[in-house]
Amino acid sequence: MAQVQRMSRLMIKTLRDDPADAETLNHKLLVRAGYVRRTAAGIWSWLPLGKKVLENVSRVVREEMDAIGGQEVLLPALLPKEPYEASGRYDEYGDLLFRLQDRKGSDYLLGPTHEEIFTQVVKDMCSSYKDLPVILYQIQTKYRDEARPRAGVLRGREFQMKDSYSFDTTDEGLAESYRLHRGAYIRIFERLGLDHRIVSAVSGAMGGSASEEFLAPAPAGEDTFVDCPNCDYAANTEAVTFVATPGDASGVAPAEEMDTPDTPTIETLADFLGVPASATLKNLLVKVDGEIVAVGVPGDREVDLGKLGEHLAPAEVELVTAEDFVGRPDLVRGYVGPQGLEKVRYIADPRVAAGTSWITGANKEGVHARNVVCGRDFEVDEHLDVVVVEAGDPCPRCGTGLQVDRAIEIGHIFQLGRKYADIFALDVLGQQGKPVRVTMGSYGIGVSRAVAALAEQTADDKGLCWPREIAPADVHVVAAGKALQTELALGVSEKLAAAGVRVIVDDRAGVSPGVKFTDAELIGVPKILVAGRRSAEGVLELKDRRTGEREELTVEDAVARLTAQG
């Protein structure tokens, strides 16, 4: 038997107006509908309805993790610093880490994620290959002192995460644990009703499926990704690669210089010549491990320094400063061209392909050159995809113009390999009687963030609108106000609960029917059952929260209908 939650007793206060500090839909609605309350920046209290939704998400996560053989544990959130010092993350995390001391002055931290501690637990508990593979998970409070806690529970400084870790003796084993998680995540997000895309978390250059992110498209999201409207291609903006087509320069006249006074920027140059920026070649100078390198991209495109950095890692990429031009007459600021740049390594975007012709700097103050052809007048040392992706860029799979959209990262799966096993010397005795180093995966789902993502994706102009599996109840029964209506509403609520249907009933006295309907829509339970006008005949009105479809039903039919939904 399910429970009846009576609004007259439920601790809830709905608000008509958005909280002043709220910018995103989920933040506004979860506060207004009485699911959460802000305690401090990025720190939230979950009220009765919010706690139910959070529990429902956790239940789905738990069921699917159990289904792949995951074993649930609960490790501490308050952690000694030593394991994090051993891994180097005590320093690497910097300001993101909440640090504290105990009464004796020993250092502690509040766990941001738990690779170190899980590795130690497995080292403690498992000694033979027979103990592996093992998948351990927890649903736990995590702490990160985020620079910009925002968007309500979407980015908290205290938040709920499901984190799991797999331990295997072989690379094939790790691949299988990863595959199991990937499948479980797809089932979890499908059951939650979250529209999502799986994108590679590493750049195309590194490739592979060693790390993937699950993104829930939503305007409030902080990640941008590209999505093909034609095929199923989706990728992180940094991971998109452009497929180059060579140009035909057979008819292009020889390169020639032209006076272009006061045109040190692409904008001034395009203006002066009356050509589109895309006809010009922009040459950005950067320092790679201290050495000056030129990066050529079409004049209408921006260089993505993050992408460039990833391509060149572990080398350090920095922008040049005025000092770097001292003693370098070959580098004429604002008028750099790849032709005649002998002492400088030249990296170019694939769009600067062999046979393409450009207007570019002539390496003399106030002078540019035209008909400068790639492969004829200059050579590219290395082609790297380094421009910021833009909407309309061709899909690498089918060529259709890509869309650039925003999304919320709701999950991340990652083949860690032996990084932490090496740090903590995590070995088990192998089949041959020799120690074998263990290989690991780490997998996260933002449980509280998933609530925010669901709210973002499903809400409409009236309020929240949960999928049934996640909603705080299956049906919201509204008693219009008269004693007879309240009696009918409570009666049908008891019958529904007895049949296993989860019910909220608005039995509040002295609250107008209008307010009750508005609240029901704001709270967002999928079905609304009203004891109104025809209560004397025992007839109720059943309304679908999403479609607004209504029908009149007797008590028996209403119970049958709502039970049958299963």
Q: Given the complex with ligand ATP, which of 407 and 488 has the nearer CB atom? A: 407
From the CB of 29, what's the least distance to ligand ATP, in Å? 17
Q: For residue 438, what are its two tokens?
A: 């263990």
Indicate the residue among 292 and 452 with the shorter CB distance to ligand ATP.
Answer: 452
Cβ-in-10-Å burial (0-12, 13-18, 19+) of 356 comes to buried
**CB-side exposure of 26: number of CA atoms within 13 Å?**
24
Please report how close the Cβ of residue 408 comes to ligand ATP at its closest, in angstroms.
Answer: 8
Contacts of 231 (CB under 8 A, 6+ apart): 395, 397, 398, 400
144 CB-near residues (< 8 Å, 6+ apart)? 96, 97, 98, 112, 157, 159
CB nearer ligand ATP, residue 50 or residue 338: 50
- Which neighbouring-strand residues pair with 463? 460
CB of 9 to ligand ATP, least distance (A): 31
CB of 238 to ligand ATP, least distance (A): 13
Helical ranges in 193-296 per DSSP H: 266-273
- Residue with nearest beta carbon to ligand ATP: 446
Which residues ranging from 150 to 179 are in contact with ligand ATP (CB under 6 A)?
A: 155-156, 159, 161
Among 83, 411, 441, 463, binds ligand ATP (CB under 6 A): 411
Contact 492, 558 (CB under 8 A): yes
Q: Torsion angle, CA of 471/473/475/477, rounded to 10 degrees?
A: -130
Which pairing describes strands 345-348 and 367-373: parallel, antiparallel, or unpaired?
unpaired
* Residue labelled with tokens 């590194």: 206
Does residue 144 touch ligand ATP according to CB under 6 A? yes
**Cβ atoms within 10 Å, residue 173:** 18
Give the 3-state secondary structure of residue 513. Answer: helix
| Minimum distance from residue 216 beta carbon to ligand ATP (Å) | 9
For ligand ATP, the binding residue among 36, 202, 359, 410 (CB under 6 A) is 410
**Scanning the structure block, which residue is given the tokens 């391509």?**
311
CB of 196 to ligand ATP, least distance (A): 11
Residue 411 Cβ, how far from ligand ATP at the closest point, in Å? Answer: 5
Rg of the chain's alpha carbons, rounded to an integer? 30
| Nearest to ligand ATP of 409, 519 (CB atom) | 409
HSE toward the beta carbon, residue 199, CA cutoff 13 A = 28
Of 57 and 479, nearer to ligand ATP (C-beta) is 57
Choose between 140 and 448: whose C-beta lies nearer to ligand ATP: 448
Q: Are strands 357-364 and 367-373 parallel, antiparallel or unpaired?
A: antiparallel
Residue 523: its H or E element: helix 513-523
Kindly give the pairing relationship between strand 223-227 and strand 403-417.
Answer: antiparallel
Q: Which helix (H) or strand (E) holds 176?
A: helix 171-192
Residues 329-368 that bind ligand ATP (CB under 6 A): none
Contact between 472 and ligand ATP per CB under 6 A: no
Minimal distance in Å, beta carbon 144 to ligand ATP?
Answer: 5
Q: Which of residues 96-125 bind ligand ATP (CB under 6 A)?
A: 113
- The verdict on 412 binding ligand ATP (CB under 6 A) reads yes
Site size for ligand ATP (CB under 6 A): 15
Nearer to ligand ATP, 159 or 225 (CB): 159
Q: How far is the CB of 555 from ligand ATP (least distance, A)?
A: 43
Nearer to ligand ATP, 96 or 305 (CB): 96
Q: How far is the CB of 57 from ligand ATP (least distance, A)?
A: 12
| Footprint of ligand ATP on 442-471 (CB under 6 A) | 444, 446, 448-449
- Which residue's CB is nearer to ligand ATP, number 408 or number 522? 408
List all residues 6 or more positions away from 327 whose beta carbon is below 8 Å from its beta carbon.
none
Judged by beta carbon, residue 412 or residue 476, the one nearer ligand ATP is: 412
Nearest to 199 by CA among 217, 187, 174: 217
Q: What residues line the site for ligand ATP (CB under 6 A)?
A: 113, 144, 146, 155-156, 159, 161, 409-412, 444, 446, 448-449
